Structure 1
Amino acid sequence: MEEISIDGSMLEGGGQILRTSTALSALTGKPLKVFNVRAKRSPPGLRMQHITAIRSVAALVDAETEGLKVGSKEIKFIPRTIKGGSFSFDIGTAGSVTLVLQALTPVSAYAPKKVFVEIKGGTNNQWAPPIEYMQHVFFPTLKHMGFDGSVSLIRRGFYPKGGGIVRASLNPVKILNPINLTGKPKVLRIWGLAYSCRLPSHIPQRMVKSVEEFLRKKGFTELNLEIEDLQPQHGKCSIDPGCGIILVAELENGFRIGADCLGELGKPAEKVGLEAASSLYEQLVREAMVDFHLADQLIIWISLAEGVSTFYTAKLTLHTLTSIEVCKQILGAKFKVEGELGKPATITCEGIGLKNKFL
């Protein structure tokens, strides 16, 4: 089969190109070469979380790989047959477990049997969805497409040591259903979790208070905001101190919109809460059905689904456009994008209707 060649510097030029192209190579059986890996990042080339993501997909398809070392700017991936079973991966740093999970989940959907996976690394990171987002937004959305997956948090992991643990259960599907996420969403309630490890208990409490004040002023009264305050004696507590908050708006049609903010040294807890609340409110005001993080994560799924999918998102990101381009190049999926970068947009895709050959 002819090798696919993907330029890792195109558009967003980051790790998403690697994760998406590797997953699609595994699903199509086409050998893959990615060059100019993470050319627009500093430093460029592979980091440990990207290597772990590629290795995780490789384990699912018995793939041969080349160039998997830190700093490498070119990789090759030669897939064989998808398999199910139990797997364990350790990033070895605070690299994001959720980004590894993003890479292997679409491949697991087309496995001959259920996939169980344990991943060690960072569970709550800058520039990556927190584990709660996967639990409360990502997997519930995929359920509407016919895919049944879940992930449990065993231990939190923050920068710099990581050490977090998650366990996922991923069920194969015969074919993915299309989705239609347009129209004006009605918010039923907003759920939230302010979490902290090895920090004073007033920190998550202050996050929650700032969120409550902001959202109530905006007219949202159905709020269920929880606090998770973990100290070293708790088995779920991270190795390093850390904190953050996630907010999830539950919509009338059963879908969800999320927003989050990770705590930083020197950033007041009130500001952490306010940033998450402002981000959520901005998307709800724009009457989005898909938040801008979910938008880029959905692209590979609607590309694989049978039929036409359409969704409206609050902000068109370069991540989303990059994922679209990779799916067009490898799968030949057809897309229509109505909207400008950084503005609300409607995305329509005619999926290829990939069927699970094992079911």
Structure 2
Amino acid sequence: MKPLTLDGSTGEGGGQILRTGLALSMVTGRPLHITRIRAGRPKPGLMRQHLACVQAAVAVCGGQAEGAELNSQTLVFTPGAVRAGDYRFQIATAGSCLLVLQTVLPALMLADGDSQVQLSGGTHNPMAPPFDFLERAFAPLVRRLGVGLELQLQRRGFYPAGGGELVARITPTSATMQPLAPVDLLERGPLHNAWGEALVPGLTRNIATRELEALGQRMGWTFESGQLRQPPTRQNEGPGNALIATLEHAHVTEVFCQLGERHLSAEQVAKRLVDEVRAYQRSSGALGPHLADQWMLPLALAVWRSGRAARYTCSEVTQHTATNAQTIALGLPVRVQITPVERAMQVEIQPAP
């Protein structure tokens, strides 16, 4: 079988090319040869978090990997048969659990039985989707394809300490006896609910209060209405800070997150989050920029397996998303077309002729 050859410096030049490449290799059985890994980053090559993705892929399909070592910029990955089962992956240095999960999820979506994946490491990381995003925004869309995906957060883990734990339970289409079915998502629908929450385990409650007050002032949300919340801290969590906004629309739920940093005031964190939410609200696209990126590969798999095209609209196509589209088109017999529509962008994925 012809290898999937990828240049890791393409487009945004980060770890997404590696993760998508590994996922495509596992689902198609094509060997992966990737060079110039993370060439667009200040420290190129494989970091510990990316090694965790490679090691997870090896475990899930019994594959082999050459070049799987710290700072390596070249990897040759030869997949085996994907095996359903119970897996446990520990990500060192508070690397993102969610990015490791997204590496193996496409393969386990198509496996011959149920799987459980336990992950420990970071659940709220810079440059990675937080757990709340996957649980509320991403997983419901995956379930619409006919795949069972249930996520359970056992403990939050913030960078750099880590210590978070979560469990993902995946029921593939083979178990449900339903085909992987693509869905169109062109409109977000009416807004049913919206709220903000501040996570501050291991920190003073005053930080959460200030963040929520600033968020409420800008969004018109109040404590009395239940739109400003501080969830309880689980045992042994922290320290860390995340401010999250959730918008529940009829057809999609969007989640936006800003992490607190030492040099940022609570008010600055809130302003950054509001800026993200307002950018989404100004658009008519169904998905925000991060969900548009994360949704592309599962939907492309459904298009490939069903032979039917599918579309979605989004508020923005980032360079990250454009790079992902290019990588997917190299690895699957599909075409990804991105076009502007009124106050949004449209992504259409079609079976290759």
CA contact (8 A) 2:136 2:254 kept: no
Give me the whole-angstrom Cα distance separating, in 2, the residues matched to 1:223 and 1:347.
Answer: 35
CA distances 1:107-152 after superposition (whole Å, capped 9, x unpaired): 1101111111111111111111111111111101212222221222
CA contact (8 A) 1:208 1:273 kept: yes
Give me the whole-angstrom Cα distance separating, in 1, the residues matched to 2:286 and 2:254.
Answer: 7
- Which of residues 257, 277, 283 is equivalent to 1:260? 257
Say yes or no: does 1:227 pair with 2:225.
no
Give me the whole-angstrom Cα distance separating, in 1, the residues matched to 2:218 and 2:18.
Answer: 38
Q: Which residue of 2 aligns with 1:245?
A: 243
CA distances 1:282-308 after superposition (whole Å, capped 9, x unpaired): 202212210100111111112111322
CA contact (8 A) 2:192 2:250 kept: yes
Q: Residues 208 and 351 from structure 1, CA distance in 2 versus in 1: closer, same or farther, beyond 3 angstroms?
A: farther
Unaligned regions of 5+ residues in structure 2, if any? none
Taking only aligned residues, the RMSD between alpha carbons, in angstroms, comes to 2.0
CA-CA distance at 1:53 after TM superposition: 1.0
Unaligned regions of 5+ residues in structure 1, if any? 353-359
CA-CA distance at 1:2 after TM superposition: 2.3
Q: Which residue of 1 aligns with 2:168?
A: 168
CA distances 1:71-118 after superposition (whole Å, capped 9, x unpaired): 000011111111111111111111111111111111110111111111
CA contact (8 A) 1:133 1:246 kept: no
CA contact (8 A) 1:304 1:351 kept: no
Aligned AA for 1:282? Answer: A
CA-CA distance at 1:184 after TM superposition: 6.0
Aligned AA for 2:214? Answer: S
Same amino acid, percent of matched pairs: 30
CA-CA distance at 1:271 after TM superposition: 2.1
Q: Which residue of 1 aligns with 2:215?
A: 211
CA contact (8 A) 2:87 2:117 kept: yes
CA contact (8 A) 1:183 1:289 kept: yes
Q: Which residue of 1 aligns with 2:337?
A: 336
Report the TM-score when normalising by structure 1. 0.90
Give me the whole-angstrom Cα distance separating, in 2, the residues matched to 1:144 and 1:224.
Answer: 27
Give me the whole-angstrom Cα distance separating, in 1, the residues matched to 2:257 and 2:65.
Answer: 35
Q: Which residue of 1 aligns with 2:309?
A: 308
Q: Which has the higher mean CA deviation after the structures are superposed, 30-39 or 198-207?
A: 198-207
Give me the whole-angstrom Cα distance separating, in 2, the residues matched to 1:85 and 1:316.
Answer: 35
- Which of residues 168, 176, 181 is equivalent to 1:177? 181
Q: Which residue of 1 aligns with 2:73?
A: 73
- Which of residues 286, 289, 293 is equivalent to 1:289? 286
Say yes or no: does 1:191 pair with 2:189.
no
CA contact (8 A) 2:45 2:72 kept: yes
Q: Which residue of 2 aligns with 1:130?
A: 130
Report the TM-score when normalising by structure 2. 0.92
CA contact (8 A) 2:259 2:269 kept: yes
